[in-house]
Every structure is written in structure tokens, then in C-alpha cells.
Chains A and B, each alone.
Chain A
Amino acid sequence: MTPSTLLLATMLVPLAGALLIPMFSARPNIRDAVSVITATVLFVIVCALYQQADSPASLVLAEPLSGLQIAFSVNYFGVLFALIASSLWIVTTLYAIGYMRAHHERNQTRFYTLFAIAIACVMAIAFAENLLTLFLFYEILTVGTYPLVAHAGTSEARAGARKYLLILMGSSIAFFLPAIIIVYLQAGTLSFSEAGVMAGNMESIYIAPLMLLFLLGISKAGIMPLHRWLPSAMVAPTPVSALLHAVAVVKAGVFTLLKVVLFIMGPDVIAQAINSQYLLLLPMATIILASLVAMTRDNLKERLAYSTISQLSYIVLGALMVNQAALVGATLHIAMHAFAKITLFFAAGAILVATHKTRVSELNGLAKSMPVTFMCFAIGAMSIIGIPFFGGMWSKWYLVSGAAAFEGATWLGWALSITLMLSTLLNIWYLLTIPVNAWFKTAPANEPASGEAPLPCLIAMIIPCVICIYLFFQPDIFLQLAHTIVGGDNT
């Protein structure tokens, strides 16, 4: 197949899945099989696209405004993001089959349908040729995932979903849209291009304010103070939290930010703008504050949500440091964090399904009855912390060397290094204590022994775990992609 056919297929396959799934709503086995098959087919297609990622294939859907197209093109960064999302979609579907049935969730068909639509949006975001197309699907992703957050239909779920929608859509209209229009007015184009489109089109003093608009507008990246939607979204069923709010939606946010830094603003332009280095304070504050908040949270999923917020800001931090190593680190962290964080969410869901426990303080001694789950949790946590033998180490490595090579103010360089150091310590504290307590503390006496979660959940949990370890020894797939993506410019 030609690359442009493949490109179209990445979006049409999940959409076709979304059409087929409701047809089998009365027969759950076939419906779930359709989900798994769609996910697998999509993964194969993305792999095929990976082989041909250097082709200049593109696809124009419409031209609503003169000179501004709804268009898609093959690009390395998109392939990287699509690879992560599509591979984890298979795993999540597998997991969801076990979880949704064991948990007796209602409206499962609606769940799987919207899931497929969300993935189609993610593919469209990954392969968007310009900022307008990206913005279009960014918004559709928000609207499409809203019912997944409100899935339970309880007043708590609705309140959470309302906050989700209002913050995500409100900030994108209030900040992201004007930022896009400013870019268009100044540069006359919105197409992603090597080294950005802003060079020579805008006075250097205005670069930082514009970048700030992007930072605030792309609130899917979870930068404080517009991060509140993510903990709110944790009312959703665990597979949603796992794929959408640890991988697809939040990664769409940081992906968009990296796209903006690399291909709209241009790393050189940002590096030369004298005041832009102070933007680093925003992700730095988010990293530390989110970690501190995470420590105070007893609800496991909420703690993981704050950990996600903190980890996302690593990526933003890497993007804003704009040197070679930091950008590679940021790109790599998208992948590494995805595999590790989804393991953690799967484990949290498994604990919920098997024991109906949601609080960290209730987990003491639980590892005796759920050894696999807590093993996986420990591996995921260590990968996020960045300990050797786990994939997360490489992205931390590049981020820290990026901080060391930082060319701005000296005090800021120090602050960067200290932030990264401190947050690693905090990570150890709030993530690793969970499995440690589960293994080594004794359970309350009157605790009934519970078994492991259903088998599909366990399998789904082990796969990303193994990938975490594999990526330490073989980070080449993502590392090469990251170098290719960033390599175009010589910062």
C-alpha cells in the first residue's frame, strides 16, 4: 500500500471499528473481538507506516479557509506518537475486557465505541499537517472523551466531567485559538515546517508571550494552574484513565506543545528570545507542586493523576530548554512515561476490581494475595523514577544532560538540575512507598484474602511492564525516531 493510503487507513480503521462495535452490542464476545481486531489492524498499519515514514505523502480533506487546509501528512513525530497510542490501544482493549466485565459496568458498547473514536482523533492529531487541523481534532478529542468521563452518570462523575470539558475547551478557545490566529497573522501560514515558521516574522520580545499563550491554551499538557481537569477525569472507568488520561489525551497535549516548539515557533527562535527562558518556571513549579500534592492524596488514581501532571511537565520542560539533548529527552519521555504510567493505572484498576479498594492507606500487606499486580506496579514506578534497567532511565538521562547543557541564566540552569533531582526524590517517596508497604507491612487482621484480577487484566498489565524493561536494553526504536525528529536543526 502507498503511504497516503496507509495514512487514510490510520484514521478510517478506528472509525470503522466505531461503526461496527454498536452493531454487536447484543453480543459482547463478538463486540470485544471487533475491538481487539481493530486495534491490531491499526497497529499493523502504523508499523507499515513506520517503514515509510520518510515519504512526503499527504492528504487534503477540505479547505475551509483560503490557504488553510484540513490536511494530513506522514511525519516521524506522528509515527512515534501513533506507534505508542496504537500499541497501547491493543493492550488497553484486552485489559478493558477483563475490567469492564468483572466490574459489571453499564453501557459497555458506548464505552468501546467512543474509545475507538478517541483513537481516530489521536491518529488525526498525530498526522496533522498544520496547526488548524491539529486544533480541530484536539477539540473533537475533548468532546468525544467527555461522555467517557461522565460514564458512571453519578453526580460526582458529572461534576468531574463538567470541569473536564470547561477547562479543556475553555482554555483552548481562550488561549490556544488566539495564539493560532496570531501565528497565522504574523507568519501567513500554519503548516508545520522544519525550524518553524516564526523566524523573522515576529519581534523577539513577543515570542515568550506567544509561547505562554500556547502553554496555557494547550491545557491537555496539564501545566498548572490549568491542570485541575486531570484529577477530575479520574472518575472515569480505569481503562479510560489508563489509555486516555495517561497516554492518548495528555500525550496529545504534550505532542501538540512539542510540535509547536519544533515546527511552528522553531527552537532557534525560542532560544534567541531573551525572555523565553523564564517560561521554564511554569513547568518547574508544576513538577514540584504536583509531586507535593501527589504525596497528600490517598486515593490511588488521584495520586497517579498528579504524578502524570508532574511527569508531563518534564516533557514541557524538555521542550522549553530547546537544546538537542533536552528535546530528545522530551520526545523520548512521551514514550517511556506512556508505557510506565499505563502499567500503574492497570495495577490500580486491578486492585479495584479484585478488592474494591481505592485508597493507598488500605493497601498494606496486599501484595501477598496480589503478587503479580504489585510486581508490575513496582516496575512501572521504578521506570517513572528513572532507575537503571528500566526504560524511563533514558529519557531522564537526556533531560538531565539537557539541563546541564542549558545556555540561559546560570541560576536557572542550577534550578533546573535541582528541580529534576528533587522531583526524582519525591517520585520515590510517593510512588515506591506503595508497593513497598504492600509487600512489607502486615495486612489488617480481619482482612479476607482476595485473589488476583481477571486473567486479561494480568496479561495486559505484564505486557507494558516487559516493554519497560525491554526499552532499557533496546531504546533504539524510539531513540532513533527522537533523534530524527529533533535532528533537523543544529541547536
Chain B
Amino acid sequence: MELLTVLLVVIPLICAPITAMIADRRVAWALTLMMCLALAVISAMVLNDVTTGKVIHYELGGWKPPWGIEYVIDSLNALIAVIVAFIALITVIYGRKSAEQEIHDSQIHLFYAAFQLVILGLMGMALTGDIFNLFVFLEISSLASYALIAMGHKRQALVASFNYLIAGTLGATFFLLGIGFLYAASGTLNMADLAARFDDFASMKLVITALLFILIGLALKAAAFPLHSWLPEAYTQAPTMVTVLLASTSTKVAVYVLIRMLYQVFPQAYWEEMLLPGFLMLSGCLGMLYGSYKALCQVSIKRLLAYSSVAQLGYMIVGIGLNNEAGLTAAIVHMFNHAVTKAALFMAAGMVLMRLHTTSLDKLRGAGKTMPWTTGAFALAGLSLIGVPGTAGFISKWYLVQGALAQGNYLVAGSILGASILAIMYVWKIIETLYFDGSDKLHVHKVGSGKQIVADLPVATACCYLMVFACFYFGLYTSIPLEAAQTAVQAMMGNGGAQ
């Protein structure tokens, strides 16, 4: 099992350069598929192994920590690895047609190579137990995603990618400086070692500076309000496959790192007396309300969903800020549930884009009649986004509100519910336009007969419906994400930091 875990990082590391050298789109795709399949199988095995509370340690190159780099897998990052691997797998199956449509043939193998590098970076961030190693993987995934976003077929993609590059680099720099301060204070980069010896250097002013730098860096990567401004454009302009992958995984991994830092590097007792929990809650609540409100104002479905992502990230940040068991469980479960829900929604949006070459709502009036399956997926996954009971979204909302009420924080509970009501409104905006507005075909260009094109996308539709099914399955049978989250929360809350 120890060896398997390192394969999660090694496989994409080997695959990516090979893919970059193969100039055949089919082989490149097949290779990516095989890689994702392998990752999915391994990550599922690892998760199954660690939900019991066991922790897997792997020492890279046999060097003993804290000197060598160590990979530590507990139920929290195993869950993240499962999210990344499975979403990537389904995205690759889903996206073959869309990638061929959106990416030029001469670049497509590079596209897949960059795609694999993103997965590599996210996996590495999730699994490593060394903060500098974490920074390296963060940069790998970020650099690859800048390239991927720039491949979007509109020219605005370049601007979006550039904006993301600036913001992302700022974030990475903050993070790196934070790590540097922490290293200067402690002389170690190993997370467990940092946590174990934290009391020795906790009194230094440098440590609190390090915490703030790391937090700001991560908040930028996680697009936490008000540092979210790069996200909507990047998600809107990126190629469909990239949007699905990034929206479901990359910000979640950043949130995961935030949780890891706050609970297992800096001890909970160190920061909970500060303004920090309140500040996280404030940022989360504002993010929820602002993101939902902005989503309501959008005309493009993709941008609407992107703003909704900002809002949903707010839920996770609030969960962390609540700093109690229910809140943290909600944050972790919501990572999983939101990944599934948003993947389904962006997949549906991608199919609209593929068939009608637009996601602008004012050109999609009455599309429900010509694309019943796609719009059906929208409606169903939309219910999960709102958090209607019986869907995955409800489970996380339940824990989150429970966490807020347990703390007597009615303002937070109110914001969560208010944002849910805004969610009804923006999901409904889509549904109503697609189903109940009279159709006006005139605006839609380059459309063949609608029914014939949908026949060309059976695989994509099936993938989309797989995610839709998952939205409902994980609303009723919650054992996988919930057990992992609860084991993780117990480990983190139970013994105040030490692994």
C-alpha cells in the first residue's frame, strides 16, 4: 500500500512527458485515459484502506523525515485524491469530442500533457507531508492550468489566463514567503515535525507573519472572497474539459491545504483565539452572498456557474471558520459534493456549448425542447446545487447549518439560508429560460438539426448523467464522503494538531 500511494504522483509524472511527445490525438487521449483509470483505482484502494483511521507514511527515497520528504495519507487527503482522480477520469471520457472541437490538432497532445500535469500537481499537493514540496506541486498545477486556460478558443482566454497568472503567481509568492518565514523560525519543512515542535517557536512574531502569508496565498488559490476575481473569467474562457476539471478539483485542493495548514501545521489553539475564525466566517458569508448575487446577474451560463463556485467556496470557508466538528465536516463533505454537482453542471454547459456554440442565456430560449437530455441534467444537478433534500448538496448544507446553530451563530446560519434562496433564483433563471421561454432559433448560428447533433454525443451525455446520478446517490447513501470526513475531523479535532 505504501508503494501504491507514491504511484499516484509518479504515474502522471511519467505519463505527461510521453504524452507531450506523441503527436497523435487518439493515442494521447488513450494514454490520459489509462493514467486516470490507474489513478482512480489506486486512490479508491487507498481511501478504502485509510477510512479506518489508519495513516499511511511513505518516505521518498528512503530518507527519514523530517530531513527527507514524506508522503502522509490519512482519510482527508485520500478523499481529495479520490475526488481528483475520479473527476479527472470522467472528464477525460466526457471531453474527447469537446477537446477535438476546441483545441487545434497540432496542440492536442500538449493539451493532454498539460492536463496530466494539472492532475499531477493536484495529487502531489494532496498527498505530500512537506510544505516546500507542496509549494512545488502547487506551482506545477498552476503553471499547467495557465497554459490550459490560454488554449480556450476565444481570444479573451488569453486575457483570462494572464489575469489568473498574475493572481496565481501573487498567491504562490505569498505562500512561498510564508513557508520561508516558517522555515526560518523552525528550521523544518515537515508538517508533522512543525506541528510537534510548534510550542518551541510559537512565541516568535515571525510565525504569525508566516501564518498570514500562507493564508493569503492559499486564499488567492482557493478564490476565497474577496480574492476571487480571477476565477469567473478563467472558468468562462477555458476549454470545457479544463473548466470541468478545475471547477471541481483545483479550488477544492487549495481549500484542503488550508484545512491542513490550520489544523495540522499551526495548532488549532494557536489561531482560534485570534480574529481568524471570525474573519474566515466573514469572508465565507460575504463570498456566499456576493457570489450568489453575481451569479443571478449573469447571462452566460458558464460565468453564472463560475460565480456560483465562488459562492460555494464560501460555504467551505465558513465551515472552516466555524471551527467545530459539524462545520469542518460540512466543509470537507461539501468539497466532495460540490465537486460532483459542479462537474455535472459544467458538463451540461459544455454540451450546450458544443452543440449551439454559445452559453449565453438570451440565445438559448426554449432550448429545452431541442436538447431535452442536456437541459434535464441542468435541472437535476441544479437541485443539488440549491441543496434540496435527497441530493448531495443537502447533506453538506445540513451539517453547515447545524454547525452554525450549535455555535449560536445565527448570522452565519441566516447567510447560508439566504444564499440558498439566491441559489434557487439563479438555478431557476436557467431552467425557466431553457424550458418555458418561447424558442427563437434565429439567434443561434451554426446549428444543424438539434436532434442529430445530440446523437453524436452519447458518451458525453452518459458521463454527465453519471455525475447527475452521483448527485442523488450521495444525497441518500452518504457513507463514502461522510465516513472519510468524520474520521479526518476526529483526527484533527481530537488531538489538537499532532498527526
Contacts and interface: CB of A to CB of B under 8 A. Distances in A.
B1 interface: no
B389 A178 contact: no
Interface string A172-206: 01100110011011000000000000000000000
A173 B413 contact: no
B417 A177 contact: yes
Contacts of B413: 178
B475 A170 contact: no
B389 A135 contact: yes
Contacts of B386: 169, 173
A132 interface: yes
B418 A174 contact: yes
Given A165-B428, A174-B418, A64 B478 contact: yes
A185 B406 contact: yes
Contact of A169 (B395, B401, B424): B424
Nearest to B474: A64
Interface string B398-437: 1001100110000001000110110011001000100010
Interface string A357-399: 0000000000000000000000000000000000000000000
A178 B477 contact: no
Nearest to B486: A66
Nearest to A133: B389
Interface stretch (A136-144, A244-252, A324-332, A336-344): A136-144
B27 to A, nearest CB: 43
A173 B476 contact: no
B405 A185 contact: yes
A178 B482 CA distance: 21
B476 A62 contact: yes
A41 B264 CA distance: 60
Contacts of A66: 482
B208 interface: no
Interface string A53-84: 00000000110111000100000000000000
Contact of A181 (B390, B401, B420, B424): B401
A227 interface: no
Given A165-B424, A173-B420, A132 B432 contact: no
Nearest to B475: A64
B390 A140 contact: yes
A108 to B, nearest CB: 17
A70 B478 CA distance: 12
The interface size bin for chain B is 20 to 34
Contact of A178 (B390, B417, B475): B417
A297 interface: no
A483 interface: no
Q: Pick the most buried of A62, A173, A178, A185: most chain B CB atoms within 10 A of its CB.
A: A173
Contacts of A174: 417-418, 420-421
B388 interface: yes
Contacts of A165: 424, 428
Contacts of B389: 132, 135-136, 139
Contact of B405 (A61, A70, A158, A181): A181
A158 B436 contact: yes
Contact of A170 (B388, B390, B397, B421): B421
Contacts of B182: none
Contacts of B397: 177
Contacts of A181: 398, 401-402, 405
B421 A178 contact: no
A281 to B, nearest CB: 24
A166 interface: yes
Contacts of B327: none
Contacts of B418: 174
A182 B475 contact: no
B460 interface: no
29 contacts: A61-B476, A65-B478, A70-B390, A132-B389, A135-B389, A136-B390, A140-B388, A140-B390, A143-B388, A153-B436, A158-B436, A161-B436, A162-B428, A166-B424, A166-B428, A169-B388, A169-B424, A170-B424, A173-B387, A173-B424, A174-B421, A177-B397, A177-B417, A178-B417, A181-B405, A182-B405, A184-B402, A185-B402, A185-B406
Given A162-B428, A173-B424, A181-B401, 12 more contacts: A64-B475, A65-B395, A153-B436, A165-B424, A166-B424, A166-B428, A173-B421, A174-B418, A174-B420, A174-B421, A182-B405, A185-B402
Nearest 10 pairs of A and B residues by beta carbon: A136-B389, A62-B476, A170-B421, A174-B417, A173-B420, A64-B478, A136-B390, A158-B436, A139-B388, A181-B402
Interface of B: 383, 386-390, 395, 397-398, 401-402, 405-406, 413, 417-418, 420-421, 424-425, 428, 432, 436, 475-478, 482
